[in-house]
A and B are shown apart, each in its own frame.
Chain A
Amino acid sequence: MNDDHAISVSQLTKRFGSFTAVDAVTFNVKRGEIFGFLGANGAGKTTAMRMLCGLSFPTSGQATIAGFDLYRDAEKIKKSIGYMSQKFSLYEDLTPRENIRFYGGIYGLTDQQIKSKTDFMVDHLHLENQVDNLVKSLPLGWKQKLSFSVAMLHQPKIVFLDEPTGGVDPVTRREFWMMIYEAAHEGTTVFVTTHYMDEAEYCDRVSIMVDGRLDALDTPLELKRKFNAPSMEEVFIQLARKAKRSDN
């Protein structure tokens, strides 16, 4: 394997009965890269991501994440990754401070570290007045930024974001992407799925899944050139039209 690769996937497949959700996907993600993972609804993005995070067993294929084998070292992988799922996954009946303490504790941070992380986050996300209120009272945008920060708590080598900006207003989305850039700048590899094509433009490289297969992978610039399209949106529509299955 290549040391420059944070994620390296080969022929990864997941079947549910006769249905092949992810069909022999092969790709590499470079260290420190922002890797966009696109696809129509039901194309298999979330299933692929769940396999990479160790939430779901692959049916076949190989994958190495942060230098660890997906089959043998799933628990070691978990120490090196962060994950933010589609569903909001902080505890709504705990305060931000308590959530930070909980997830920090699980990843083995010391009290000292947790405290400084909390202070940093409060400052960074302007949570001064909210840090001791229940999470359920926070607006959605703040919740999303908070869960991203929580996923980054233990300074993972790779962070997986599953549609992190769904339902969020444009201003917050912009702020969210600033946070992603910052993380990448500090050396974290970012693996992100999204529906927003303007966000795809922000990625270093973009892959597009259609019907469980990876149909395209390149920089946004290169993709637009290849498909002779003015925007990523056009690229996506050209590819997605070929899809036979769709859940909507």
Chain B
Amino acid sequence: MRVLRILLEKEFRQVFRDPAILRIIFLMPIIQLLIMPLAADYEVKNIKLCVVDFDRSSYSQKLVNKIAATKYFQLVDYTDSYQKALIYIEKDEADLVLQIPSSFEKQLVKEDQATVFMALNAINGVKANLGGAYLRSIIGDFNREIRLEWLQFPRLSPQPTIQVSAINWFNPLMNYQVFMVPGILVILVTMVGAFLSALNIVKEKEIGTIEQINVTPIRKYQFILGKLIPFWVLGLIILTIGLIISWVVYGIVPAGNVFTIYIFAAVYLLAVLGMGLLVSTFANTQQQAMLLSFFLMMTFILLGGLYTSIDSMPPWAQTFTKFNPVSYFIEVMRMVVLKGSSLYDIRNHLFIVFVFAVVLNSFAVWNYKKRS
């Protein structure tokens, strides 16, 4: 016990004496939490619209005005041919072309129906898909309005209709930041934990102090614990800074209990640090450790469900995410912060991450060799 205390004293001294680490600890949360959520706004809005109106009737005009008035669309220009409109798309100056046929109003009145045509730049599939759906629903609204206007008297037996109403739970304002910020917090805690712990032991290897430690009667588990605990504490400090920033800047207060987050984070950090330590037992130079953890982190984070939902991944990727601790924490974070899930709700996640922690750390202790 005393040995452990001595080890911890030394690690903490070194950490708090290293300006690079301190900078990372305080700057990373601020940069990531202040800039990332601003940049990572996936909400589909500001769709640039180019209109080719061959009809030029009052109704075609009304339709265009209605579309341009919504927050989703931004009217870029009117052109007189589809070819010209396509150039806008090629130059990325428009995302969507709406073409209204020349006899739009006439057809609608005489033949009871008319067709408008739209072409979307679909390189970004999500944007095209949702943009198309928005435009359709605006046109549907417009359709209903003119129907009401033109059918002065409702028919005697109106159509039986099913109305669909949608309610958005947990994030009623559909705020993208509420979705991203908890996820970014996870990334933050993960990166700091994994990178710092991986680099730390390798640094002792490079400068040679590890030899001096290895000739002492210190036990492996003492040494590993001595490395683990400081970064575990740092991880929790960063989590706290992050939670404060997301409260002050974004007004995000966890719907669930904050202690649920801390309990999960405490176990999760053990798993992440175990991974960092494992990397450090494999690498001989800081460059290798850095590259290796970077590679792992990138894979874990991209497949962690931060940017795209795990449900839409193919089966092999979904299987992989079952072994990805990051995805569990992201899910838990969103559950607790947004939905107010309790410790009981996340019991399975907690158990699985606990198993990761045990396996990774045992492996790290086993793979750390005092003697070659």
Contact = CB atoms under 8 A, between A and B. Distances in A.
Q: Do A and B touch directly, given a CB cutoff of 8 Å in the complex?
A: yes
Nearest to B216: A106
Contacts of A102: 6-7, 9-10
A75 interface: yes
B17 A93 contact: yes
Name, among B10, B18, B208, the residue most crowded by chain A CB atoms within 10 Å (CB to CB): B10
B62 interface: no
Nearest to A88: B208
B216 A55 contact: no
Contacts, number: 79
A55 B7 contact: no
Interface in B1-59: 2-3, 5-7, 9-10, 13-14, 17-18
B208 to A, nearest CB: 3
Contacts of A101: 6, 9
Interface in A106-159: 106-108
A69 B207 CA distance: 30
Contacts of A107: 216-217
B110 interface: no
- Contact residues on A (Cβ < 8 Å of other chain), bracket: 20 to 34
Interface residues of B, number: 25
A87 B211 contact: yes
A57 B371 CA distance: 6
Interface in A154-185: none
B214 A89 contact: no
B218 interface: yes
A136 to B, nearest CB: 11
Contacts of B6: 101-102, 105-106
Contact of B13 (A82, A83, A85, A94): A94
A219 to B, nearest CB: 29
B3 A55 contact: no
Interface of A: 53-57, 74-76, 78-79, 81-83, 85, 87-94, 98, 101-103, 105-108
8 contacts: A54-B214, A55-B214, A56-B371, A87-B211, A103-B212, A105-B3, A105-B5, A107-B217
Interface of B: 2-3, 5-7, 9-10, 13-14, 17-18, 207-209, 211-218, 370-372
Given A85-B211, A101-B9, A105-B7, 18 more contacts: A53-B215, A55-B211, A56-B372, A78-B217, A82-B215, A83-B215, A89-B209, A90-B209, A90-B212, A91-B10, A91-B209, A93-B14, A102-B9, A103-B216, A105-B3, A105-B9, A106-B6, A106-B217
